[in-house]
Amino acid sequence: MKQSRRGSKDFKVTYFARRYDKQTGKYVYDVRYETVTEVTPRTLDVSEAFGLGIDETKEYVIYDNFEMQLSPHDIVYITGESGSGKSVLLRELEKDLGSEKVTNITEVTTDPDRPLVEQVGKDTNESLMLLSLVGLGDAWLFIKRYRELSDGQKYRFRLAKAIESGKQYWLADEFCATLDRDTAKIVAFNVQKHARRLGKAVIAATTHTDLFEDLKPSVHVHKGLGREVEVNYYPNKINRECSILREMKIGEGTLKDYAALAEYHYRATHTRLPVKRVFTLKRGRQLAGAIVYQPPAPATQGRSRVLGRRLTLNEANKLLTKISRVVVHPKFRSIGAGAKIVRETLPVCGKPYVETVAVMAQYNPFFEKAGMRRILTTQPNIGVANAVKKLESLGFNTPYLSSERMNLQKLKGLSSQQIERVRAAIHCVEGPARKRIATGRRSWYKHDEYTRKIDEASLPHLARMLSTLAVLSQPKIYLFWFDPGNNPLGIRQE
Protein backbone atom coordinates (compact mmCIF):
# COMPACT_ATOMS: atom_id res chain seq x y z
CA MET A 1 0.00 0.00 0.00
CA LYS A 2 1.36 3.37 -0.97
CA GLN A 3 1.54 5.94 1.82
CA SER A 4 2.69 9.56 2.02
CA ARG A 5 3.74 11.94 4.76
CA ARG A 6 4.11 15.68 4.54
CA GLY A 7 7.14 16.90 6.42
CA SER A 8 6.39 20.62 5.84
CA LYS A 9 4.77 22.87 3.27
CA ASP A 10 7.93 22.63 1.17
CA PHE A 11 8.36 18.87 0.79
CA LYS A 12 6.66 15.52 1.26
CA VAL A 13 8.06 12.03 1.50
CA THR A 14 6.26 9.37 -0.52
CA TYR A 15 7.04 5.74 0.14
CA PHE A 16 5.63 2.25 -0.13
CA ALA A 17 5.06 0.49 3.15
CA ARG A 18 7.73 -2.14 3.54
CA ARG A 19 7.17 -5.61 2.22
CA TYR A 20 8.63 -8.33 4.37
CA ASP A 21 9.18 -11.97 3.48
CA LYS A 22 9.36 -13.85 6.77
CA GLN A 23 10.93 -16.98 5.24
CA THR A 24 13.85 -15.15 3.64
CA GLY A 25 14.08 -12.25 6.10
CA LYS A 26 13.91 -9.84 3.15
CA TYR A 27 12.85 -6.20 3.57
CA VAL A 28 11.81 -4.11 0.56
CA TYR A 29 11.70 -0.29 0.60
CA ASP A 30 10.64 2.36 -1.86
CA VAL A 31 11.40 5.87 -0.62
CA ARG A 32 11.20 9.09 -2.60
CA TYR A 33 11.03 12.80 -1.78
CA GLU A 34 9.00 15.47 -3.54
CA THR A 35 10.16 19.06 -3.00
CA VAL A 36 8.28 22.30 -3.52
CA THR A 37 10.32 25.50 -3.90
CA GLU A 38 9.55 28.34 -1.51
CA VAL A 39 8.79 31.49 -3.49
CA THR A 40 11.08 34.36 -2.46
CA PRO A 41 12.65 37.21 -4.43
CA ARG A 42 15.93 35.31 -4.64
CA THR A 43 14.42 31.96 -5.66
CA LEU A 44 12.51 33.85 -8.37
CA ASP A 45 15.79 35.38 -9.58
CA VAL A 46 17.38 31.93 -9.77
CA SER A 47 14.34 30.42 -11.51
CA GLU A 48 14.35 33.11 -14.18
CA ALA A 49 18.12 32.95 -14.69
CA PHE A 50 18.19 29.17 -15.19
CA GLY A 51 14.74 28.59 -16.67
CA LEU A 52 13.36 26.67 -13.71
CA GLY A 53 9.65 26.35 -13.00
CA ILE A 54 9.09 27.92 -9.62
CA ASP A 55 5.82 26.03 -9.07
CA GLU A 56 7.08 22.68 -10.25
CA THR A 57 7.79 19.84 -7.84
CA LYS A 58 10.84 17.63 -8.20
CA GLU A 59 11.00 14.02 -7.11
CA TYR A 60 14.17 12.57 -5.61
CA VAL A 61 14.30 8.78 -5.51
CA ILE A 62 16.22 7.51 -2.46
CA TYR A 63 15.32 3.82 -2.52
CA ASP A 64 13.70 2.24 -5.56
CA ASN A 65 12.30 -1.18 -4.71
CA PHE A 66 15.39 -1.73 -2.55
CA GLU A 67 15.75 -5.24 -1.11
CA MET A 68 17.80 -6.26 1.92
CA GLN A 69 17.93 -9.50 3.87
CA LEU A 70 18.19 -9.13 7.63
CA SER A 71 18.32 -11.77 10.36
CA PRO A 72 18.18 -11.22 14.15
CA HIS A 73 21.93 -11.95 14.34
CA ASP A 74 23.35 -9.86 11.48
CA ILE A 75 25.96 -7.14 11.76
CA VAL A 76 24.81 -4.49 9.27
CA TYR A 77 27.17 -1.71 8.16
CA ILE A 78 25.44 1.10 6.24
CA THR A 79 27.89 3.54 4.63
CA GLY A 80 27.56 6.42 2.20
CA GLU A 81 27.90 10.15 1.77
CA SER A 82 26.02 12.64 3.91
CA GLY A 83 22.52 13.11 2.53
CA SER A 84 22.51 9.84 0.60
CA GLY A 85 19.75 8.28 2.71
CA LYS A 86 21.51 6.17 5.33
CA SER A 87 19.50 7.60 8.21
CA VAL A 88 16.27 7.18 6.27
CA LEU A 89 16.91 3.44 5.94
CA LEU A 90 17.88 3.17 9.60
CA ARG A 91 14.68 4.93 10.71
CA GLU A 92 12.50 2.68 8.54
CA LEU A 93 14.19 -0.44 9.88
CA GLU A 94 13.80 0.79 13.45
CA LYS A 95 10.06 1.33 12.94
CA ASP A 96 9.58 -2.04 11.30
CA LEU A 97 11.53 -3.96 13.93
CA GLY A 98 9.55 -2.40 16.77
CA SER A 99 10.65 -0.62 19.95
CA GLU A 100 10.28 -3.78 22.04
CA LYS A 101 13.16 -5.31 20.06
CA VAL A 102 15.37 -2.26 19.46
CA THR A 103 17.78 -0.23 21.57
CA ASN A 104 19.50 2.75 19.97
CA ILE A 105 23.09 2.96 21.25
CA THR A 106 23.33 6.65 20.40
CA GLU A 107 20.15 7.43 22.35
CA VAL A 108 20.72 5.41 25.52
CA THR A 109 19.61 7.36 28.60
CA THR A 110 22.37 8.20 31.07
CA ASP A 111 22.71 10.35 34.18
CA PRO A 112 25.68 12.72 33.75
CA ASP A 113 26.24 13.11 37.50
CA ARG A 114 26.00 9.53 38.78
CA PRO A 115 29.01 7.17 38.99
CA LEU A 116 29.06 4.49 36.29
CA VAL A 117 28.84 1.67 38.83
CA GLU A 118 25.47 3.08 39.94
CA GLN A 119 23.98 3.24 36.44
CA VAL A 120 24.30 -0.28 35.08
CA GLY A 121 23.71 -3.76 36.49
CA LYS A 122 21.34 -4.97 39.17
CA ASP A 123 24.13 -5.09 41.77
CA THR A 124 27.79 -4.10 42.15
CA ASN A 125 29.14 -7.39 40.82
CA GLU A 126 27.00 -7.32 37.67
CA SER A 127 27.85 -3.65 37.15
CA LEU A 128 31.61 -4.32 37.29
CA MET A 129 31.23 -7.29 34.95
CA LEU A 130 29.33 -5.22 32.36
CA LEU A 131 31.74 -2.30 32.57
CA SER A 132 34.76 -4.58 32.24
CA LEU A 133 33.12 -6.32 29.29
CA VAL A 134 33.15 -3.12 27.23
CA GLY A 135 36.63 -1.97 28.20
CA LEU A 136 35.80 0.19 31.21
CA GLY A 137 37.49 -2.27 33.59
CA ASP A 138 39.40 0.24 35.67
CA ALA A 139 38.71 0.81 39.36
CA TRP A 140 38.82 4.60 38.87
CA LEU A 141 36.43 4.44 35.91
CA PHE A 142 33.92 2.48 37.98
CA ILE A 143 33.44 5.47 40.26
CA LYS A 144 33.71 8.20 37.63
CA ARG A 145 30.64 10.17 36.59
CA TYR A 146 29.41 9.90 33.02
CA ARG A 147 30.14 13.55 32.25
CA GLU A 148 33.80 13.01 33.23
CA LEU A 149 34.35 10.39 30.53
CA SER A 150 35.96 10.86 27.13
CA ASP A 151 33.78 10.46 24.02
CA GLY A 152 35.16 6.96 23.47
CA GLN A 153 34.45 5.96 27.08
CA LYS A 154 30.92 7.36 26.82
CA TYR A 155 30.31 5.23 23.74
CA ARG A 156 31.56 2.14 25.56
CA PHE A 157 29.30 2.90 28.51
CA ARG A 158 26.29 3.23 26.22
CA LEU A 159 27.25 -0.14 24.76
CA ALA A 160 27.15 -1.61 28.28
CA LYS A 161 23.66 -0.17 28.68
CA ALA A 162 22.64 -1.69 25.33
CA ILE A 163 23.90 -5.10 26.46
CA GLU A 164 21.99 -4.73 29.72
CA SER A 165 18.77 -3.87 27.87
CA GLY A 166 18.48 -7.38 26.45
CA LYS A 167 17.03 -6.00 23.20
CA GLN A 168 17.67 -8.05 20.06
CA TYR A 169 18.70 -5.20 17.74
CA TRP A 170 21.29 -2.53 18.53
CA LEU A 171 21.00 0.52 16.26
CA ALA A 172 23.42 3.41 15.90
CA ASP A 173 23.17 6.36 13.51
CA GLU A 174 26.37 8.32 12.84
CA PHE A 175 28.16 5.33 14.34
CA CYS A 176 31.43 6.45 16.00
CA ALA A 177 31.35 9.64 13.92
CA THR A 178 32.61 11.86 16.75
CA LEU A 179 35.48 9.56 17.78
CA ASP A 180 39.07 9.61 16.61
CA ARG A 181 39.58 6.82 14.11
CA ASP A 182 41.63 4.56 16.39
CA THR A 183 38.98 4.71 19.09
CA ALA A 184 36.26 4.20 16.46
CA LYS A 185 37.94 0.99 15.29
CA ILE A 186 38.23 -0.27 18.87
CA VAL A 187 34.55 0.48 19.57
CA ALA A 188 33.49 -1.17 16.30
CA PHE A 189 35.51 -4.27 17.17
CA ASN A 190 33.89 -4.47 20.63
CA VAL A 191 30.37 -3.89 19.35
CA GLN A 192 30.53 -6.80 16.91
CA LYS A 193 32.34 -9.04 19.41
CA HIS A 194 29.77 -8.64 22.16
CA ALA A 195 26.77 -8.70 19.79
CA ARG A 196 27.91 -11.95 18.21
CA ARG A 197 28.70 -13.58 21.54
CA LEU A 198 25.25 -12.65 22.83
CA GLY A 199 23.43 -13.51 19.59
CA LYS A 200 22.32 -9.92 18.94
CA ALA A 201 22.07 -7.87 15.74
CA VAL A 202 23.77 -4.52 15.06
CA ILE A 203 22.67 -1.97 12.46
CA ALA A 204 25.19 0.88 12.22
CA ALA A 205 25.10 3.80 9.78
CA THR A 206 28.03 6.15 9.16
CA THR A 207 29.86 8.11 6.50
CA HIS A 208 33.12 6.44 7.53
CA THR A 209 34.20 3.40 5.53
CA ASP A 210 37.30 2.58 7.62
CA LEU A 211 35.46 0.36 10.11
CA PHE A 212 34.81 -2.55 7.74
CA GLU A 213 37.73 -4.68 8.96
CA ASP A 214 36.94 -4.32 12.67
CA LEU A 215 33.13 -4.39 12.48
CA LYS A 216 33.33 -7.32 10.00
CA PRO A 217 29.71 -6.94 8.81
CA SER A 218 27.62 -9.80 7.51
CA VAL A 219 25.62 -7.23 5.54
CA HIS A 220 27.22 -4.15 3.96
CA VAL A 221 24.93 -1.54 2.44
CA HIS A 222 26.73 1.23 0.56
CA LYS A 223 24.33 4.06 -0.30
CA GLY A 224 25.24 6.39 -3.13
CA LEU A 225 23.42 9.57 -4.11
CA GLY A 226 20.03 9.24 -5.74
CA ARG A 227 18.77 5.68 -6.12
CA GLU A 228 22.24 4.15 -6.23
CA VAL A 229 22.71 1.45 -3.58
CA GLU A 230 24.79 -1.70 -3.32
CA VAL A 231 24.35 -4.60 -0.88
CA ASN A 232 26.90 -7.32 -0.17
CA TYR A 233 26.56 -10.32 2.15
CA TYR A 234 29.38 -12.06 4.03
CA PRO A 235 29.73 -14.98 6.47
CA ASN A 236 28.51 -13.95 9.90
CA LYS A 237 31.62 -14.86 11.90
CA ILE A 238 33.08 -13.12 14.95
CA ASN A 239 36.15 -10.95 14.42
CA ARG A 240 38.54 -12.11 17.13
CA GLU A 241 41.38 -9.64 16.67
CA CYS A 242 41.21 -5.86 16.41
CA SER A 243 43.25 -4.40 13.54
CA ILE A 244 45.03 -2.09 16.00
CA LEU A 245 46.21 -5.00 18.16
CA ARG A 246 47.90 -6.57 15.14
CA GLU A 247 50.01 -3.42 14.82
CA MET A 248 51.36 -3.71 18.40
CA LYS A 249 54.76 -5.20 19.22
CA ILE A 250 56.39 -6.42 22.45
CA GLY A 251 59.80 -4.99 23.43
CA GLU A 252 62.19 -4.73 26.36
CA GLY A 253 61.42 -1.81 28.64
CA THR A 254 62.39 -0.07 31.87
CA LEU A 255 60.60 1.21 34.96
CA LYS A 256 60.35 4.58 33.22
CA ASP A 257 57.99 2.97 30.73
CA TYR A 258 55.84 1.63 33.53
CA ALA A 259 55.96 5.00 35.30
CA ALA A 260 54.62 6.69 32.14
CA LEU A 261 51.47 4.56 32.43
CA ALA A 262 51.32 4.05 36.21
CA GLU A 263 48.59 6.65 36.72
CA TYR A 264 46.24 4.34 34.81
CA HIS A 265 46.77 1.47 37.27
CA TYR A 266 44.26 1.10 40.09
CA ARG A 267 46.99 0.35 42.63
CA ALA A 268 49.97 2.38 43.88
CA THR A 269 52.08 3.99 41.17
CA HIS A 270 55.37 2.63 42.50
CA THR A 271 56.84 -0.81 43.18
CA ARG A 272 58.87 -1.60 46.29
CA LEU A 273 60.73 -4.81 45.46
CA PRO A 274 63.63 -5.09 42.99
CA VAL A 275 62.45 -5.34 39.39
CA LYS A 276 63.58 -8.31 37.30
CA ARG A 277 62.18 -7.46 33.86
CA VAL A 278 59.95 -4.83 32.29
CA PHE A 279 58.38 -5.28 28.86
CA THR A 280 56.42 -2.79 26.79
CA LEU A 281 53.63 -3.02 24.26
CA LYS A 282 54.00 -0.39 21.55
CA ARG A 283 52.19 0.63 18.41
CA GLY A 284 54.96 2.24 16.46
CA ARG A 285 56.44 4.70 18.97
CA GLN A 286 53.22 4.95 20.96
CA LEU A 287 53.38 3.26 24.38
CA ALA A 288 50.24 1.16 24.81
CA GLY A 289 51.10 -1.05 27.79
CA ALA A 290 53.72 -2.31 30.23
CA ILE A 291 54.28 -5.37 32.38
CA VAL A 292 56.57 -5.62 35.42
CA TYR A 293 58.16 -8.88 36.64
CA GLN A 294 59.54 -8.98 40.20
CA PRO A 295 60.98 -11.55 42.64
CA PRO A 296 58.35 -13.84 44.18
CA ALA A 297 57.05 -13.64 47.73
CA PRO A 298 58.72 -16.05 50.18
CA ALA A 299 55.59 -18.25 50.22
CA THR A 300 51.98 -18.19 49.05
CA GLN A 301 49.02 -20.47 49.64
CA GLY A 302 48.37 -20.80 45.91
CA ARG A 303 51.95 -21.84 45.15
CA SER A 304 51.86 -24.52 47.84
CA ARG A 305 48.69 -25.89 46.29
CA VAL A 306 50.29 -26.07 42.83
CA LEU A 307 53.58 -27.64 43.97
CA GLY A 308 52.32 -29.71 46.87
CA ARG A 309 55.05 -28.30 49.10
CA ARG A 310 56.77 -25.09 50.13
CA LEU A 311 59.89 -23.92 48.34
CA THR A 312 62.90 -22.58 50.16
CA LEU A 313 63.63 -18.91 49.55
CA ASN A 314 66.60 -19.85 47.35
CA GLU A 315 64.47 -22.25 45.30
CA ALA A 316 61.74 -19.65 44.86
CA ASN A 317 64.17 -16.97 43.67
CA LYS A 318 65.87 -19.40 41.29
CA LEU A 319 62.73 -20.84 39.69
CA LEU A 320 60.00 -18.23 40.03
CA THR A 321 59.11 -14.71 39.09
CA LYS A 322 56.00 -12.71 39.84
CA ILE A 323 53.95 -10.43 37.61
CA SER A 324 53.42 -7.44 39.88
CA ARG A 325 51.92 -4.93 37.44
CA VAL A 326 50.16 -5.01 34.11
CA VAL A 327 48.87 -1.70 32.84
CA VAL A 328 47.31 -0.83 29.48
CA HIS A 329 46.56 2.69 28.30
CA PRO A 330 42.79 3.24 28.64
CA LYS A 331 42.46 3.93 24.92
CA PHE A 332 43.60 0.40 24.08
CA ARG A 333 41.61 -1.57 26.62
CA SER A 334 39.06 -4.22 25.64
CA ILE A 335 40.92 -5.36 22.50
CA GLY A 336 43.06 -8.03 24.19
CA ALA A 337 46.16 -5.90 24.82
CA GLY A 338 46.51 -7.12 28.42
CA ALA A 339 46.34 -10.77 27.36
CA LYS A 340 48.82 -10.13 24.54
CA ILE A 341 51.51 -8.55 26.72
CA VAL A 342 51.20 -11.36 29.29
CA ARG A 343 51.06 -14.21 26.75
CA GLU A 344 54.03 -13.01 24.70
CA THR A 345 56.30 -12.19 27.67
CA LEU A 346 55.74 -15.34 29.76
CA PRO A 347 58.10 -17.47 27.62
CA VAL A 348 60.85 -14.82 27.59
CA CYS A 349 60.72 -13.57 31.21
CA GLY A 350 63.71 -15.74 32.16
CA LYS A 351 62.05 -18.13 34.65
CA PRO A 352 60.28 -21.47 34.14
CA TYR A 353 57.48 -20.58 36.56
CA VAL A 354 55.44 -17.39 36.82
CA GLU A 355 52.80 -16.45 39.39
CA THR A 356 50.58 -13.48 40.08
CA VAL A 357 47.92 -12.42 42.55
CA ALA A 358 45.24 -10.14 41.09
CA VAL A 359 42.06 -8.45 42.25
CA MET A 360 40.80 -7.40 38.81
CA ALA A 361 41.13 -10.97 37.46
CA GLN A 362 37.63 -11.71 38.76
CA TYR A 363 36.20 -9.11 36.37
CA ASN A 364 38.71 -9.18 33.53
CA PRO A 365 40.22 -12.67 33.03
CA PHE A 366 43.05 -11.58 30.74
CA PHE A 367 45.64 -13.62 32.68
CA GLU A 368 43.68 -16.78 31.91
CA LYS A 369 43.26 -15.76 28.28
CA ALA A 370 47.04 -15.43 28.15
CA GLY A 371 47.49 -19.03 29.31
CA MET A 372 47.85 -18.70 33.09
CA ARG A 373 45.89 -21.11 35.27
CA ARG A 374 43.60 -19.94 38.06
CA ILE A 375 44.54 -21.85 41.19
CA LEU A 376 42.48 -20.38 44.01
CA THR A 377 40.59 -17.34 45.23
CA THR A 378 41.33 -16.05 48.71
CA GLN A 379 38.77 -14.05 50.66
CA PRO A 380 39.70 -11.15 52.99
CA ASN A 381 40.32 -12.05 56.61
CA ILE A 382 37.54 -11.60 59.13
CA GLY A 383 39.11 -8.48 60.63
CA VAL A 384 39.17 -6.71 57.26
CA ALA A 385 35.56 -7.71 56.55
CA ASN A 386 34.43 -6.50 59.99
CA ALA A 387 36.29 -3.20 59.53
CA VAL A 388 34.49 -2.59 56.24
CA LYS A 389 31.12 -3.31 57.88
CA LYS A 390 31.85 -0.82 60.66
CA LEU A 391 32.82 1.82 58.09
CA GLU A 392 29.56 1.18 56.23
CA SER A 393 27.67 1.90 59.46
CA LEU A 394 29.44 5.29 59.48
CA GLY A 395 28.18 6.06 55.99
CA PHE A 396 31.16 4.97 53.89
CA ASN A 397 30.23 3.47 50.53
CA THR A 398 32.32 0.32 49.99
CA PRO A 399 32.82 0.67 46.20
CA TYR A 400 34.31 4.14 46.79
CA LEU A 401 36.70 3.19 49.61
CA SER A 402 39.56 2.79 47.12
CA SER A 403 39.41 6.53 46.39
CA GLU A 404 41.58 8.53 48.79
CA ARG A 405 39.90 11.72 47.59
CA MET A 406 36.41 10.47 48.45
CA ASN A 407 37.62 9.04 51.76
CA LEU A 408 39.14 12.39 52.74
CA GLN A 409 35.97 14.20 51.71
CA LYS A 410 33.92 11.84 53.88
CA LEU A 411 36.31 12.10 56.85
CA LYS A 412 36.16 15.90 56.82
CA GLY A 413 32.40 15.69 57.30
CA LEU A 414 32.62 13.47 60.39
CA SER A 415 32.71 14.55 64.02
CA SER A 416 35.80 13.89 66.16
CA GLN A 417 33.91 11.06 67.86
CA GLN A 418 33.12 9.46 64.51
CA ILE A 419 36.78 9.82 63.44
CA GLU A 420 37.75 7.81 66.50
CA ARG A 421 35.26 5.13 65.44
CA VAL A 422 37.01 5.01 62.07
CA ARG A 423 40.35 4.44 63.82
CA ALA A 424 38.72 1.77 66.00
CA ALA A 425 37.44 0.02 62.86
CA ILE A 426 41.00 -0.16 61.49
CA HIS A 427 42.19 -1.56 64.82
CA CYS A 428 39.87 -4.54 64.19
CA VAL A 429 42.35 -5.80 61.61
CA GLU A 430 45.18 -7.99 62.87
CA GLY A 431 48.30 -9.58 61.41
CA PRO A 432 50.02 -8.62 58.13
CA ALA A 433 46.91 -6.85 56.84
CA ARG A 434 47.08 -4.40 59.74
CA LYS A 435 50.72 -3.68 58.94
CA ARG A 436 49.83 -2.94 55.31
CA ILE A 437 47.07 -0.55 56.35
CA ALA A 438 49.14 1.28 58.94
CA THR A 439 52.34 1.67 56.93
CA GLY A 440 51.42 0.95 53.32
CA ARG A 441 53.83 -1.98 53.16
CA ARG A 442 54.79 -5.27 54.80
CA SER A 443 57.03 -3.84 57.53
CA TRP A 444 58.21 -5.26 60.81
CA TYR A 445 57.39 -2.62 63.39
CA LYS A 446 56.21 -3.68 66.83
CA HIS A 447 52.50 -3.95 67.60
CA ASP A 448 52.48 -0.73 69.66
CA GLU A 449 54.05 1.20 66.78
CA TYR A 450 51.23 0.16 64.40
CA THR A 451 48.69 1.23 66.99
CA ARG A 452 50.39 4.60 67.37
CA LYS A 453 50.54 5.17 63.61
CA ILE A 454 46.79 4.56 63.33
CA ASP A 455 45.93 6.71 66.34
CA GLU A 456 48.13 9.63 65.25
CA ALA A 457 47.38 9.53 61.51
CA SER A 458 46.28 12.80 59.95
CA LEU A 459 43.05 12.82 57.94
CA PRO A 460 44.90 12.48 54.58
CA HIS A 461 46.92 9.57 56.00
CA LEU A 462 43.75 8.02 57.40
CA ALA A 463 42.12 8.36 53.96
CA ARG A 464 45.10 6.48 52.49
CA MET A 465 44.72 3.75 55.11
CA LEU A 466 41.08 3.29 54.13
CA SER A 467 42.12 3.02 50.49
CA THR A 468 44.56 0.23 51.41
CA LEU A 469 41.80 -1.44 53.42
CA ALA A 470 39.60 -1.39 50.30
CA VAL A 471 42.29 -3.25 48.34
CA LEU A 472 42.65 -5.83 51.12
CA SER A 473 38.88 -6.33 51.28
CA GLN A 474 38.72 -7.58 47.68
CA PRO A 475 38.92 -11.32 46.89
CA LYS A 476 42.29 -12.11 45.31
CA ILE A 477 42.95 -14.67 42.62
CA TYR A 478 46.20 -16.62 42.47
CA LEU A 479 47.29 -17.63 38.95
CA PHE A 480 50.21 -19.78 37.83
CA TRP A 481 52.06 -20.57 34.58
CA PHE A 482 54.91 -22.87 33.68
CA ASP A 483 56.94 -23.54 30.58
CA PRO A 484 56.24 -27.14 29.42
CA GLY A 485 59.67 -27.23 27.79
CA ASN A 486 61.46 -26.15 30.97
CA ASN A 487 59.75 -27.78 33.92
CA PRO A 488 62.38 -28.79 36.50
CA LEU A 489 59.79 -29.51 39.21
CA GLY A 490 57.79 -31.82 36.92
CA ILE A 491 54.46 -30.05 37.31
CA ARG A 492 51.64 -31.80 35.44
CA GLN A 493 49.62 -29.93 32.87
CA GLU A 494 45.95 -30.10 33.82
Residues 79, 133 within the same domain: yes
Judge contact between 221 and 233, C-beta under 8 A: no
Domain containing 148: what range? 71-243
Domain-embedded: residue 492: no
Give the range among 244-248, 309-313, 439-443 with minimum mean pLDDT: 439-443
| Residue 428 confidence (pLDDT) | 83
Residues 132, 211 within the same domain: yes
Residues 60, 80 within the same domain: no
Residues 107, 182 within the same domain: yes
Look at residues 217, 243, 269 and tell me which one is the last residue of a structural domain.
243
| Residue 44 confidence (pLDDT) | 72
Domain-embedded: residue 489: no
Q: Has residue 15 got a pLDDT over 60?
A: no
Q: Other CB atoms closer than 10 Å to residue 267's CB: what's the count?
A: 17
CA-to-CA distance for 164 and 200, rounded, in angstroms? 12
> Mind giving me the DSSP string for 453-465?
HHHH--HHHHHHH
Judge contact between 254 and 261, C-beta under 8 A: no
Which tens digits make up the pLDDT trace of 394-429?
988 776 787 788 889 999 999 999 999 999 998 888
Judge contact between 78 and 217, C-beta under 8 A: no
Domain-embedded: residue 32: yes
Judge contact between 361 and 367, C-beta under 8 A: yes
Phi/psi for 282 (5° steps) reads -125, 145
10 Å CB burial of residue 73 (0-12, 13-18, 19+) is middle
Residues 230, 328 within the same domain: no
> Mind giving me the DSSP string for 119-151?
TSSSSHHHHHHHHHHTT---HHHHTSBGGGS-H
| Residue 493 confidence (pLDDT) | 78
Residue 281, classed as helix, strand or coil, is strand
Which tens digits make up the pLDDT trace of 311-360?
999 999 999 999 999 999 988 988 999 999 999 999 999 999 999 998 77
Which tens digits make up the pLDDT trace of 285-322?
999 999 999 999 898 999 999 999 999 999 999 999 99
> By percentage, how much of the chain surpasses pLDDT 70?
87
Residues 364, 412 within the same domain: no
Residues 7, 24 within the same domain: yes
Residues 408, 355 within the same domain: no
Averaged pLDDT score across all residues of the chain:
85
| Residue 221 confidence (pLDDT) | 96
| Residue 5 confidence (pLDDT) | 40
Amino acid at 461: H
CA-to-CA distance for 402 and 267, rounded, in angstroms? 9
Phi/psi for 186 (5° steps) reads -65, -45
Q: Which of 129-133, 225-229, 299-303 has the highest mean pLDDT?
A: 299-303
Q: Has residue 198 got a pLDDT over 90?
A: yes
CA atoms within 13 A on the CB side of 403: 19
Mean pLDDT of 5-34: 58
Residues 373, 302 within the same domain: yes
Domain count, the chain: 4
> Mind giving me the DSSP string for 355-374?
EEEESGGGT--HHHHTT-EE
Residues 130, 211 within the same domain: yes
Q: Which of 25-34, 46-55, 191-200, 403-412 has the highest mean pLDDT?
A: 191-200
| Residue 62 confidence (pLDDT) | 75
